[in-house]
Amino acid sequence: MDKQIIERLRDIVGEGHISTSTAELYAYSTDAGIHRSMPDAVIRPKTTAEIEKIVKLANECLFPIVPRGAGTALCGHSVPVAGGLVIDLQRMNKVKELHIEDLYVVVEPGVIHKDLNAELKNYGFFIPGPSSGNVANIGGMVATNASGGNAVKYGATRDYVLGMEVVFPNGEVARLGSRTLKNSAGYQLEKLMCGMEGTLGIITEINLRIVPLPETTAVAVAVFDTLEKAGQCVSNIIAKPLIPSGLELMSRVCIQAVNKAVCMGLPDEEAILLIEVDGSTNDVKDQIETVMEVCKSSGALSVDFTDDPERKEELWKGRKAMIPALSKYDDDLVTVMLADDMAVPMSKVPEAVKAFQEISDKYDIIIASYGHSGDGNLHTKVLMDPTKKSHWDQAETAVEEIYEKVMDLGGTITGEHGVGMTKAPFFLKERQCSLNAMKTIKMALDPNNIMNPNKIMDWEGNFISHLRYHLEEE
C-alpha cells in the first residue's frame, strides 16, 4: 500500500485514526486464534460515511480490507492474510436507539455485548451472547453468528438480528431486513450477513431483538460413572420436554485438571453435568424437580441443586476454573485453539466425546473435552508446545480425525466460533455441496475480491499456515 493511499485514508478519518506503526501492525496481525499475517495499515473509522469512502478507495486501488471488532475471534477471521487494511470498528460504539416496547434496539457494530446488556438490564431485558461477551463487539458477534452456553434455550446471534445497515464491497450503503419481529419480504439478506465473517460487507448498524431477563435461575450438578449415562441424561432432559438455559458437560480430563490446578475436590468420575434452568420462581422450582428426577433415573451417582446465588457461583466455579486449570496442567504445554467448537446432534455427544478421548490416546496428545452439551456443542482444548513441529504434526492428524468423526456423526465443524482460516480446510469438505453457491454469491457482491479475501471457501491448503508461533529446534 503506497504512501499516497495512506494519505488519502488519513484524509478520510483524520489524524490519529490511522497507523502504520510497528506496534499497531503487529498487534492487529493476529486475533485470538493461531495465525498471524501483517497488515499494511490499521484504520479506525467513526461513521458509515467514512467506511463508504474507505471501501470505495479499496475498490479503486484494489487493496484488501479486513473488518475487525474486538479481535476476540478464534479462527483467524480478522487476520489480514493477504495484507492490506484492517478496519477496527471499536470507535463505532453507540447504542443508538432503545425501543423496549417494540422489543428491539439499534446499535453500532463496536458496542460491547456486556455494555448493551448493562443498559438493557435497567428495563429487565437482555440479548444472549458468547462467553467473551464482556469484550466481544456486537458487529463481530453478528459477523460470526456467535453464541454461548445459553444457546440451547436462547439460540445464536442470528436469531436476534432483525435488520442492519451494511456497506457492500462496492461501497454501496444498503439497509437490510426490518425493525419488525416478523418479516417475509424477499431474500433475508440480513441473515446472510450472519456468519459471513467480513467477506461480504461491513456491518455499520444493527437492529437486534431483545428478550426479557428471567426472574431467577437454579443449577443442578449431576455426577456420572460413564459418559454414555451423562449423554443419555442430556437427551432424557430435552425429551422430557425441558429446555434448560445451560447444560454443560465436563469429562474426566477436565475434572482432573480442575482438581489438580485449583483443588476443587470435584468427584473423580467420568462425567459431570451442570444443568441450569431459568424462569419465574415457581417455574424454576418445577423445572429443577424434573431435572433432579431425570438425572436420578438416568443413573446419576449423585445429584444436587441450589438456587442460592453464592452456592450457584460456587457450583459454576469448577466449570469456570477449567480453562486456567488446563493452561496450568503441564509446565511445558499450553492450550491452543484447534478443533474447539464442533457441534453434533445431542444424542451423539457421548459417542463424540469418547471418540475424542480415543484420538487423544492414539496420538499421545492431551485433549480435554467439555461443552454446551444441551445443544450438542463440544469444546476441545489441545494442550501442546506450539513451538514444536512434532506437536503440530500430531495435532494436525488428531484434529483431522476429530472433524471426520464429527462429520460422520452428522455434526458440523463449528457450532459457534466460525470458520476463518483454522477450520477452512475442513469446512471445504463439510460444505462441498454448497461451495459453488457461496462462491457465486461472493463473486457477485465482491467482484474485486477485496473483502477479507482468501478465507472460508476461498482458503487453499492446510490450516497449519501463517502460524503466529515460531517453530524452534527440538
Q: Which residues bind another protein (CB under 8 A)?
A: 19, 21-24, 26-28, 30-33, 42, 44, 70-72, 88, 90-91, 114, 132, 134-135, 323-324, 327-328, 331-332, 334-337, 385-387, 468-470
Considering the complex, what minimum distance in angstroms separates the CB of residue 451 from another protein?
A: 21
Considering the complex, what minimum distance in angstroms separates the CB of residue 287 from another protein?
A: 30
Considering the complex, what minimum distance in angstroms separates the CB of residue 463 from another protein?
A: 17
Considering the complex, what minimum distance in angstroms separates the CB of residue 185 from another protein?
A: 37
The owner of cell 480415543 is: 358
Whole-angstrom distance, CA of residue 271 vs CA of residue 195: 32
Whole-angstrom distance, CA of residue 168 vs CA of residue 270: 50
Omega before 324 within 30 of 0, i.e. cis: no
Identity of the residue, 30 or 412, whose beta carbon is nearer to another protein in the bound complex = 30
Considering the complex, what minimum distance in angstroms separates the CB of residue 378 from another protein?
A: 18
The owner of cell 456491518 is: 203
Grouping H, G, I as helix, E, B as strand and the rest as coil, residue 365 is coil
Contact 426, 183 (CB under 8 A): no
Identity of the residue, 302 or 390, whose beta carbon is nearer to another protein in the bound complex = 390
User: Beta strands 85-88 and 41-43: pairing type?
Assistant: parallel
Identity of the residue, 25 or 221, whose beta carbon is nearer to another protein in the bound complex = 25
Grouping H, G, I as helix, E, B as strand and the rest as coil, residue 367 is strand
Burial bucket for residue 248 (CB in 10 Å: 0-12, 13-18, 19+) = buried
Identity of the residue, 27 or 443, whose beta carbon is nearer to another protein in the bound complex = 27
Considering the complex, what minimum distance in angstroms separates the CB of residue 424 from another protein?
A: 19
Identity of the residue, 256 or 448, whose beta carbon is nearer to another protein in the bound complex = 256
User: In this structure, what DSSP letter does residue 147 have?
Assistant: -
Identity of the residue, 109 or 386, whose beta carbon is nearer to another protein in the bound complex = 386
Q: Which three cell numbers stand for residue 95?
A: 447504542
User: In this structure, what DSSP letter does residue 451 have?
Assistant: B
Considering the complex, what minimum distance in angstroms separates the CB of residue 88 from another protein?
A: 7
Burial bucket for residue 461 (CB in 10 Å: 0-12, 13-18, 19+) = exposed
Considering the complex, what minimum distance in angstroms separates the CB of residue 382 from another protein?
A: 12
Identity of the residue, 65 or 238, whose beta carbon is nearer to another protein in the bound complex = 65
Contact 25, 42 (CB under 8 A): yes
Contact 402, 379 (CB under 8 A): no
Considering the complex, what minimum distance in angstroms separates the CB of residue 89 from another protein?
A: 12
Identity of the residue, 191 or 468, whose beta carbon is nearer to another protein in the bound complex = 468
Q: How many CB atoms lie within 10 A of CB 465?
A: 17
Contact 421, 36 (CB under 8 A): no
Which residue type sits at 94? K
Identity of the residue, 329 or 459, whose beta carbon is nearer to another protein in the bound complex = 329
Identity of the residue, 114 or 285, whose beta carbon is nearer to another protein in the bound complex = 114
The owner of cell 429446555 is: 243
How many residues are recorded in the chain? 474
Considering the complex, what minimum distance in angstroms separates the CB of residue 75 from another protein?
A: 12
Whole-angstrom distance, CA of residue 468 vs CA of residue 445: 31
